[in-house]
């Protein structure tokens, strides 16, 4: 039923002001101009709905009303979800609004909206709703990018919290075009080295770039190269620049972000990055241009790891990775960027441990192998709380057998696993490690193992597939891992029974949205990894296997299979935003636990979240349920 206010001009001013003050407590109204809120408040009606009463349904036709909950709860139900667990897939509370998608598309709703308890709603006619979209840019932005808009508000709060301790950080989300300080100094490849060095000295610069007549970069030389390439070899200074430069330098476009340049520096040990637009050199950035981190820069830290001569150095570097994560949270870097950076540095640390062990193990050096990253590390989604998930893939030369090579590799892998444990990566409780004979296998053995899981589909096989099918080559013969990935993509896509089993298994883990309370908790806590991240990870893996998507990263999988299935871009963006927000909550949780000297966990008390974070988390869990609904429909679960 509905209780209608008087005509707009007759509404008492005190009622309008009270309505404005009430709405100003909730997003997006808290950031709207007051005049726009007053305009809306004048046109609102008040509706009342008994518990269980239907507010909107697909049978209602094109939506004619925009609803804002004044008091009570609204539950959204879809047939597939109701058939599964008799539970609402959507639960809305005071200050939340609906149904934005249907209003913007001028269509009926897809869900049935019912009052969960006795509920009052502010109601705005659709014509006034569309007028408000034109009047208020913030309201328009919120309605068209609801989750992204809420995330932006949360990001501002987070930055304010972390910036206190890191107030002068260079923004890692700045485009390179905003960081380039000067035009690059260049020369031709034929320029004598004497002239190059004189120019660098007179201008006080640390690098020189060779370009062709079209200003395309051909090579780079830096002061770091002087000792090894000029001084020690006693180079004739009449030697042309082309004989000394590092050819084919890596370049990035001006719209690339600082964090992308940082990743390139970290992965390759570079001190400079060239900025190129339409094939033409337009700028050069040094590590000093990119980083003013208080303790240690990303490239500097990667350099320390690469040159480490002992385990103690790497143990200190692992601690610095955690500090770097704190500094980057202060800069407002996104969860996607930060988890990739953490994973990249952890990759470098693992790689250096492997290199150090190979230096003293001639037998292992003689084996062609690939060190595999599994689980979250394989997906490039590591946070500060991660144990080890790894394996070894090796080749078997003609005339040799796998058991003999395994006997060589297992002690080697054991030393690496123990060294990683000393650096703060605990040994896997389930022994999913390269030092376990089960996970130190030849290419044919890995294929046979995966084949058994796919065609037998026992409960343990399904569990293993959620870890091992996210493998990524980290060190060594990557071509073998690529061959295994191609084989897996082809084999898994053919077995619909296995994909159905994976879907059934994945749908047992439901996002913790409650009917009586906002969240379903266990001992008052929510597990952000198991109940928050995992539904997205599992669904993305299943869809990717079904459609032969080779990516292992969850976000890339979502984007890739979404494109193949021609899913609406806004749906994919919402899934990605929801996944990233939960990741961000995990990073913040782990950082606060580190600061307090507590054991790292993924469990958070929802009562400790502020109103904005609680609202975004509910929205993120709703997106997880929506993705699971698609999974259930596609696989008839």
2-144 CATH, one of 2.60.120.10, 1.10.4190.10, 1.10.287.1080, 3.90.550.10: 2.60.120.10
Query: Which residues in 48-58 are b (16+ Cβ under 10 Å) and which e?
Result: bbeeeeebbee
Q: Residue 523: left if φ>0, alpha if ψ -120 to 50, beta else—which one? A: left
As a whole number of angstroms, the distance between CA 588 and CA 19 comes to 35
* pLDDT of amino acid 296: 53
Give the alpha-carbon dihedral of 411, 421, 585, 565, to 10 degrees.
Answer: -10
Give the alpha-carbon dihedral of 522, 523, 525, 528, to 10 degrees.
Answer: -40
Contact 453, 465 (CB under 8 A): yes
Domain boundaries, the chain: 2-144, 176-290, 334-494, 504-634
Overall CATH class of domain 334-494: alpha beta
As a whole number of angstroms, the distance between CA 500 and CA 498 comes to 5
* pLDDT of amino acid 154: 61
Contact 74, 113 (CB under 8 A): yes
Q: Report cis status (omega within 30 of 0) of the bond before 99.
A: yes
Give the neighbor-by-neighbor strand order of the sheet with 280-286.
251-252, 272-277, 280-286
Contact 502, 537 (CB under 8 A): no
As a whole number of angstroms, the distance between CA 262 and CA 273 comes to 9
The DSSP 8-state label assigned to residue 364 in this structure reads H
**Residue count (the chain):** 637
Low-confidence ranges of the chain (pLDDT < 70): 1-12, 78-90, 146-172, 181-182, 291-297, 330-332, 514-518
Burial class (CB in 10 A: 0-12, 13-18, 19+), 412: buried
As a whole number of angstroms, the distance between CA 255 and CA 174 comes to 9
Residue labelled with tokens 């389930």: 430
The two structure tokens encoding residue 192: 């004598």
The C-alpha angle 598, 170, 183, rounded to 5 degrees, equals: 155
Phi, psi (rounded to 5 degrees) for 187: -150, 180
Contact 284, 209 (CB under 8 A): yes
Residue 615 to residues 21, 28, 327, 603, 612: CA-CA distances in angstroms? 19, 12, 26, 18, 5
As a whole number of angstroms, the distance between CA 384 and CA 12 comes to 55
Residue 481 to residues 195, 265, 347, 353, 550: CA-CA distances in angstroms? 47, 25, 16, 20, 12
Start-end of H helices in 277-334:
287-290, 298-307, 311-330
As a whole number of angstroms, the distance between CA 36 and CA 25 comes to 15
As a whole number of angstroms, the distance between CA 184 and CA 114 comes to 63
Q: Which residues pair with 217 in a beta bridge?
A: 211
* pLDDT of amino acid 83: 34
With residue 561 as reference, give the H or E element that holds it: helix 554-564
Report the chain's C-alpha Rg in angstroms.
28
List Cβ neighbours of 633 (8 Å cut-off, separation of 6 or more): 80
Q: Report cis status (omega within 30 of 0) of the bond before 465.
A: no
Helix, strand, coil content of the chain in percent (nearest 5): 55, 15, 30
504-634 CATH, one of 1.10.287, 1.10.3470, 1.20.120, 2.60.40: 1.20.120
The DSSP 8-state label assigned to residue 219 in this structure reads E
As a whole number of angstroms, the distance between CA 182 and CA 195 comes to 21
Burial class (CB in 10 A: 0-12, 13-18, 19+), 273: buried
176-290 and 504-634 agree in CATH topology: no
The two structure tokens encoding residue 201: 């000295």
Residue 634 to residues 112, 500, 627, 628, 631: CA-CA distances in angstroms? 21, 9, 11, 10, 5
Contact 49, 115 (CB under 8 A): yes
176-290 is a CATH 3.40.367.20 domain:
no
* pLDDT of amino acid 152: 60
As a whole number of angstroms, the distance between CA 116 and CA 52 comes to 6
Q: Report cis status (omega within 30 of 0) of the bond before 251.
A: no
3-class SS letters over 110-121:
CCEEEECCCEEE
Give the alpha-carbon dihedral of 87, 92, 97, 101, to 10 degrees.
Answer: -30
- Reported as a single tens digit per residue, the pLDDT across 501-520 is 999 999 999 888 865 456 88
The two structure tokens encoding residue 63: 């939506």
């Amino acid at each position: 039923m509905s209780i209608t206010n008087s005509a707009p001009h007759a509404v008492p001013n005190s009622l309008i002001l009270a309505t404005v003050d009430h709405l100003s407590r909730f997003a997006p109204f808290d950031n709207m101009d007051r005049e726009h809120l007053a305009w809306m408040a004048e046109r609102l009606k008040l509706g009342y709905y008994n518990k269980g009463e239907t507010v909107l349904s697909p049978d209602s036709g094109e939506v004619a009303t925009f609803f804002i909950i004044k008091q009570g709860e609204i539950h959204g139900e879809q047939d597939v979800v109701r058939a599964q667990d008799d539970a609402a897939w959507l639960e809305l509370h005071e200050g939340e609004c609906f149904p934005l998608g249907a209003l913007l598309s001028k269509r009926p709703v897809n869900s049935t909206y019912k009052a969960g308890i006795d509920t009052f709603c502010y109601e705005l006619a659709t014509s006034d709703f569309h007028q408000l979209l034109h009047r208020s840019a913030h309201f328009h932005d919120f309605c068209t990018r609801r989750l992204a808009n809420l995330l932006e508000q949360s990001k501002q709060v987070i930055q304010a919290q972390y910036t206190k301790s890191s107030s002068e950080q260079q923004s890692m989300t700045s485009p390179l075009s905003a960081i380039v300080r000067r035009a690059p100094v260049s020369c031709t490849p034929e320029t004598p080295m004497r002239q190059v060095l004189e120019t660098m000295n007179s201008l006080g610069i640390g690098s020189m770039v060779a370009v062709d007549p079209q200003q395309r970069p051909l090579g780079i030389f830096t002061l770091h190269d002087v000792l090894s390439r000029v001084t020690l070899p006693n180079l004739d200074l009449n030697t042309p620049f082309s004989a000394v430069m590092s050819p084919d330098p890596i370049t990035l476009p001006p719209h690339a972000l600082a964090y992308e340049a940082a990743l390139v520096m970290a992965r390759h040990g570079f001190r400079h990055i060239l900025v190129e637009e339409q094939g033409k050199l337009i700028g050069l950035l040094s590590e000093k241009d990119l980083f003013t981190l208080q303790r240690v820069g990303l490239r500097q830290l990667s350099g320390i790891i690469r040159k480490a001569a002992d385990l103690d150095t790497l143990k200190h570097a692992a601690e610095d990775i955690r500090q770097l994560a704190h500094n980057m949270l202060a800069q407002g870097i996104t969860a996607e960027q930060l988890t990739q950076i953490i994973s990249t540095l952890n990759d470098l640390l693992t790689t250096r441990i492997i290199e150090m062990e190979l230096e003293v193990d001639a037998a292992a050096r003689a084996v062609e192998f690939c060190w595999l990253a599994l689980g979250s590390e394989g997906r490039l989604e590591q946070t500060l709380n991660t144990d080890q998930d790894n394996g070894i893939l090796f080749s078997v030369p003609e005339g040799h057998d796998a058991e003999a090579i395994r006997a060589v590799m297992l002690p080697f892998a054991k030393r690496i696993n123990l060294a990683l444990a000393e650096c703060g990566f605990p040994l896997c409780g389930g022994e999913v490690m390269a030092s376990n004979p089960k996970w130190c296998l030849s290419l044919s053995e890995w294929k046979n193992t995966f084949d058994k899981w796919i065609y037998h589909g026992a409960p343990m096989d399904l569990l293993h597939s959620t870890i091992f099918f996210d493998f990524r080559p980290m060190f060594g013969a990557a071509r073998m891992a690529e061959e295994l990935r191609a084989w897996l993509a082809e084999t898994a896509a053919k077995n619909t029974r296995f994909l159905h089993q994976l879907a059934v298994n994945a749908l047992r883990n439901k996002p913790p949205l409650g009917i009586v309370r906002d969240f379903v908790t266990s001992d008052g806590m929510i597990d952000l990894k198991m109940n928050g991240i995992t539904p997205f990870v599992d669904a993305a893996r299943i869809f990717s296997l079904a459609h032969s998507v080779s990516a292992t990263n969850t976000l890339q999988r979502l984007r890739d299979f979404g494109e193949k299935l021609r899913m609406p871009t806004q749906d994919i963006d919402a899934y990605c935003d929801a996944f990233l927000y939960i990741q961000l909550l995990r990073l913040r949780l782990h950082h606060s636990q580190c600061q307090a000297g507590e054991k790292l966990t993924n469990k958070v008390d929802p009562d400790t979240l502020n109103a904005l974070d609680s609202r975004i988390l509910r929205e993120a869990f709703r997106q997880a349920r929506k993705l699971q609904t698609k999974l259930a429909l596609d696989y008839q679960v």
